[in-house]
């Protein structure tokens, strides 16, 4: 079978060798770069790329998984609405993410009605089929927020509303770049988010922080090539935006999608789980869409879930430092005690690819050996 | 990793999904209730947590197993709940080496209002599956519950068979080869595509089939060469490999390029973000085979109509104990143990 164009192991080997060479030319160790995208982490994990990176290169998983960074109070709003008897439609990976008083899956077990959907359009279909109120619990970055915006702008049934926990990526890169003691020397930017925003959106960031940014796709060769380019810029002291995903991303992005996004949503500040308060990091519905805003339509009684006060555990979480590569899970007082895979506190324990989750399951990052497995042919 | 105590107050869907939560519930609650203080000689019982139990009778073993079947929708591309119920029990018996089925029982619980036409269709499908497996339903029971008290139809089947040699799921040694008997993930992805209304150009069909004949061919190719065997139902191949690696005290390295996965299954898997290694198969076994016999067993499997896509996909190692490592050709990663129900992801 011919390998897919961007999954050719031979070309991957060449890129790995190039990456080894550039990292050793930089001449200090470790060189730390960050990606800010759950799909990049997925691809890195799925194709076993992490074990193939040079020893002197830290590819840090930044705050790029929208599910992981959805904050507990936001989950609580969804859970509270569900427990109030409102039918909730949401993406599958939101079900198990815990709030302060359980997850949506817990609410479902207690009798609440939760529908898993693949798209906001499916949630609208659900609303068409019933007279009941259907609330779409909307999560994801600008890529999925645009889909939500498009549906809202096109008009939705009267029994349909949106509880937005959408997030906006560019501001959190500023937070990470400005964290005291940060080791991050360059960023891989998410290709699909950049199809909306365009690659040019990162130019002011690059100018401000003098850190290179490479817009990267999601196949193994995309990621390896992007890392080669990023480390070359670090080696040469160059800080530029380079778009290595031109088959999807243009400098200006999708203008129509941007127009839709900002017509429906406005950015406001808010907490990202285990990271920080991110100015302009949360997307909320603009006032003119109040009639489809679940926060306006329902009285969401979150306090009832908290028995008066929200959990204080989250304040002890050091996910932000772990994600910035400043701390390891063993520096965290909650790790393995109050924070475990079944009851995670921070983002790094929520995701199956999160640093804390992997450390918890395997007592560190196990050495797996080189890819040599051709005994089967 | 030590098992954590069950603290959840309610039974959740994840407790039935074939992953860690289910194992913990069985370990804590079920074994806690039924565990024998002293293991009985000549009995492979509940504590073995194998596909079934085996009781020595003279110089042979009586193998018995039971399985309840629920599925939404009850009719799916390639099969239905009736075929599933027969194949599930026949295959569990075969996984212990009991490929000749002495008899099956069938217990049906039906929701008030369930269409008679659908019930007849399910029974006809059960009969057809029995004929394929060379099995007979010898006892049964029917109950009807009120509307809303149960979702459509639930079928339990139990079965017994005899074997002169029991194959467990823990006899692996370093060097053993891992064989899968055909394409992976077809059942799980077919049901998922249908359940979630994915409008696709391709039709994916469940692999639900009785594979006792196929397994007999593999056993006869080199008696005693299969050191461990399980069918990769709930929890998928990943769940089976984890169980085998843990129980057999070996590591398992899988070559991703060697995994037989249909392109349409792979496509849906990428679309919904669910690894085909994690989804259910209903007509596929995973076996560990002594290295010197692997080629002969593979040839025997491929000669059978249900084993044409069988492949050697991995090897047992003396390092990475209890771990399942996937060699992707780009690098290596750990295969995570399934945990809870499979949900499509956005991220």
Query: Distance from B36 to chain A by nearest Cα, in Å?
Result: 29
Which helix (H) or strand (E) segment is A236 a member of?
helix A220-236
Interchain proximity B347–A48, CB inside 8 Å:
no
Structure-token pair, residue A20: 């080894």
The reported pLDDT for the residue numbered A1 is 43
pLDDT bin (cut points 50, 70, 90) of residue A124 is: very high
- pLDDT tens for the 347 residues of chain B, in order: 334 344 446 888 888 877 778 888 898 889 888 876 667 888 998 888 899 999 999 999 999 999 999 988 899 999 999 999 999 999 999 999 999 999 999 999 999 999 999 999 999 999 999 999 999 999 999 999 999 999 999 999 999 999 999 999 999 999 999 999 999 999 999 988 887 777 667 778 999 999 999 999 999 999 999 999 999 998 899 999 999 999 999 999 999 999 999 998 998 888 887 889 999 999 999 999 999 999 999 999 999 999 999 999 999 999 999 999 999 988 888 888 777 666 666 55
Q: CB of A140 within 8 Å of any CB in chain B? A: yes
Q: Which of 17-46 (B) contact A at CB < 8 A?
A: 21
The reported pLDDT for the residue numbered A372 is 63
Structural contact between residues A351 and A65, judged by C-beta atoms closer than 8 angstroms: yes
CATH topology assigned to domain A12-65+169-243: Rossmann fold (3.40.50)
Interchain proximity B328–A105, CB inside 8 Å:
no
Query: Distance from A377 to chain B by nearest Cα, in Å?
Result: 7
CATH for B177-334?
Answer: 3.90.650.10
Interchain proximity A368–B334, CB inside 8 Å:
yes
The reported pLDDT for the residue numbered A360 is 79
Chain A residues within an 8 Å CB radius of B331 = 47-52, 371
For chain B, the maximum distance between any two Cα atoms, rounded to a whole number of angstroms, is 57
Helices A9-26 and A220-236: crossing angle in degrees, nearest 10, is 20
Q: What's the whole-model pTM score?
A: 0.84
Structure-token pair, residue B210: 């009785």
Query: Distance from A208 to chain B by nearest Cα, in Å?
Result: 29
Interchain proximity B336–A372, CB inside 8 Å:
no
Q: Which value does ipTM take for this structure?
A: 0.75
At residue A323, does pLDDT exceed 90?
Answer: no
The DSSP bridge partners found for residue B61 are: B56, B163
Query: Distance from B70 to chain A by nearest Cα, in Å?
Result: 18
DSSP reduced 3-state for A31: strand
Q: CB of B196 within 8 Å of any CB in chain A? A: yes
Distance CA A223, CA A230 (A): 10
pLDDT bin (cut points 50, 70, 90) of residue A363 is: low
Q: CB of A376 within 8 Å of any CB in chain B? A: yes
Structural contact between residues B63 and B96, judged by C-beta atoms closer than 8 angstroms: yes
The reported pLDDT for the residue numbered A43 is 85
Quote the mean pLDDT of chain A. Answer: 88
Query: Distance from B121 to chain A by nearest Cα, in Å?
Result: 29
Q: Pick from B275, B312, B332: which is nearest to A48 by CB?
A: B332
The reported pLDDT for the residue numbered B6 is 42
The DSSP bridge partners found for residue B287 are: B179, B229
The candidate with the shortest Cα–Cα distance to A224, out of A21, A375, A2, is A21
Query: Distance from B345 to chain A by nearest Cα, in Å?
Result: 5
Interchain proximity A50–B345, CB inside 8 Å:
no
- Count other C-beta atoms under 10 Å from residue A212's C-beta: 25
Q: Pick from B13, B340, B344: which is nearest to A118 by CB?
A: B344
Which helix (H) or strand (E) segment is A283 a member of?
strand A276-285
Q: CB of A70 within 8 Å of any CB in chain B? A: no
The candidate with the shortest Cα–Cα distance to A77, out of A96, A104, A95, is A104
CATH for B36-163?
Answer: 3.30.1330.10
Q: Pick from B273, B314, B340: which is nearest to A376 by CB?
A: B314
Distance CA A80, CA A103 (A): 10
The reported pLDDT for the residue numbered A377 is 41
Give A4 or B309, the one with higher predicted confidence: B309
Q: CB of A38 within 8 Å of any CB in chain B? A: yes
CATH topology assigned to domain A72-166+254-306: Rossmann fold (3.40.50)
At residue A375, does pLDDT exceed 50?
Answer: no
Structural contact between residues B261 and B326, judged by C-beta atoms closer than 8 angstroms: no
Chain A residues within an 8 Å CB radius of B334 = 362, 366, 368
Structural contact between residues B215 and B285, judged by C-beta atoms closer than 8 angstroms: yes
Structural contact between residues B227 and B172, judged by C-beta atoms closer than 8 angstroms: yes
Q: Which of 42-101 (B) contact A at CB < 8 A?
A: none
pLDDT bin (cut points 50, 70, 90) of residue A218 is: very high
Interchain proximity A116–B344, CB inside 8 Å:
yes
Q: CB of A269 within 8 Å of any CB in chain B? A: no
Residues of chain A above pLDDT 90, percent = 56
Question: Domain spans of chain A?
Answer: 12-65+169-243, 72-166+254-306, 313-359
Q: Which of 298-357 (A) contact B at CB < 8 A?
A: 340-342, 352
Interchain proximity B331–A52, CB inside 8 Å:
yes
Sign of dihedral through CA atoms A290, A296, A302, A303? positive
């Amino acid at each position: 079978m011919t390998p897919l164009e961007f999954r050719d192991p031979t070309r991957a080997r060449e890129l790995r060798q190039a990456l080894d060479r550039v990292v050793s030319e930089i001449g200090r160790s470790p060189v730390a770069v960050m990606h800010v995208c759950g799909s990049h982490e997925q691809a890195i994990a799925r194709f076993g790329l992490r074990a193939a990176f040079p020893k002197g290169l830290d590819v840090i998983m930044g705050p790029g998984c929208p599910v992981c960074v959805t904050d507990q109070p936001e989950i609580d709003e969804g859970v509270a609405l569900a427990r109030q008897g409102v039918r909730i439609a949401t993406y599958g990976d939101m079900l198990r993410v815990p709030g302060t008083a359980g997850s949506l899956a817990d609410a479902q077990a207690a009798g609440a009605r939760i529908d898993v959907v693949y798209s906001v359009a499916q949630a609208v279909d659900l609303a068409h089929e019933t007279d009941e109120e259907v609330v779409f619990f909307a999560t994801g970055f600008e890529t999925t927020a645009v889909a939500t915006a498009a549906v809202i702008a096109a008009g939705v049934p009267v029994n349909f509303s949106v509880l937005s926990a959408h997030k906006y990526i560019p501001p959190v890169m500023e937070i990470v770049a400005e964290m005291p003691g940060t080791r991050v020397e360059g960023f891989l930017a998410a290709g699909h988010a950049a199809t909306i925003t365009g690659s040019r959106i990162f130019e002011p960031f690059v100018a401000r922080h003098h850190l290179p940014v490479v817009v990267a796709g999601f196949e193994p060769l995309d990621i390896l090539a992007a890392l080669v380019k990023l480390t070359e810029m670090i080696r040469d002291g160059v800080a530029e935006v380079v778009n290595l995903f031109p088959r999807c991303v243009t400098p200006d992005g999708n203008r129509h999608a941007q127009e839709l996004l900002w017509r429906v949503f406005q950015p406001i500040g808010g907490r990202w789980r285990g990271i920080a308060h991110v100015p302009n990091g949360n997307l909320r519905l603009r006032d003119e869409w109040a009639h489809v805003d679940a926060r306006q339509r329902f009285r969401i009684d979150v306090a009832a879930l908290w028995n008066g006060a929200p959990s204080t555990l989250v304040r002890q979480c050091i996910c932000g430092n772990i994600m910035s590569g400043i701390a390891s899970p063993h520096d965290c007082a909650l790790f393995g005690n109050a924070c475990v895979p079944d009851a995670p506190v921070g983002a790094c324990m929520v995701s199956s690819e999160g640093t804390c989750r992997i450390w918890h399951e395997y007592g560190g990052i196990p050495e797996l050996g080189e890819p040599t497995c051709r005994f089967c042919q | 990793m030590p098992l954590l105590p069950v603290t959840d107050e309610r039974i959740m869907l994840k407790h039935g999904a074939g992953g860690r939560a289910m194992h913990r519930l069985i370990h804590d609650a079920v074994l806690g209730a039924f565990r024998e203080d002293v293991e009985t000689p000549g009995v492979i019982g509940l504590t073995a947590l194998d596909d079934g139990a085996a009781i020595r009778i003279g110089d042979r073993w009586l193998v018995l197993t039971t399985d309840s079947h629920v599925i939404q929708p009850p009719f799916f591309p390639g099969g239905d709940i009736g075929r599933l119920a027969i194949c599930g029990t026949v295959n569990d018996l075969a996984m212990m080496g009991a490929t000749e089925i002495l008899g099956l029982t069938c217990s049906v619980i039906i929701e008030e209002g369930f269409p008679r036409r659908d019930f007849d269709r399910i029974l006809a499908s059960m009969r057809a599956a029995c004929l394929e497996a060379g099995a007979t339903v010898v006892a049964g029971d029917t109950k009807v519950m009120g509307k809303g008290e149960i979702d459509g139809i639930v079928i339990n089947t139990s079965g017994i068979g005899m074997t002169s040699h029991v194959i467990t799921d823990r006899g692996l040694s370093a060097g053993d080869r891992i064989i899968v008997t055909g394409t992976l993930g077809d059942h799980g992805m077919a049901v998922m595509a249908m359940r979630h209304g994915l409008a696709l150009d391709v039709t994916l069909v469940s692999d639900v089939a009785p594979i006792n004949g196929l397994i007999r061919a593999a056993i006869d190719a080199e008696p005693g060469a299969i050191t461990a065997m399980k069918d990769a139902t709930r929890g998928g191949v990943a769940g089976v490999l984890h169980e085998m690696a843990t129980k057999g005290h070996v590591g398992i390295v899988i070559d991703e390029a060697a995994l037989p996965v249909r392109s349409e299954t792979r496509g849906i898997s990428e679309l919904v973000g669910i690894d085909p290694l994690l989804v259910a198969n209903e007509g596929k076994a995973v076996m560990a085979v002594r290295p010197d016999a692997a080629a002969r067993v593979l040839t025997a499997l491929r000669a059978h109509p249900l084993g044409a896509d069988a492949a050697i996909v991995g090897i047992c190692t003396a390092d990475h104990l209890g771990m399942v490592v996937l060699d992707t050709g780009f690098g290596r990663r750990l295969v995570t143990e399934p945990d809870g129900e499979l949900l499509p992801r956005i991220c």
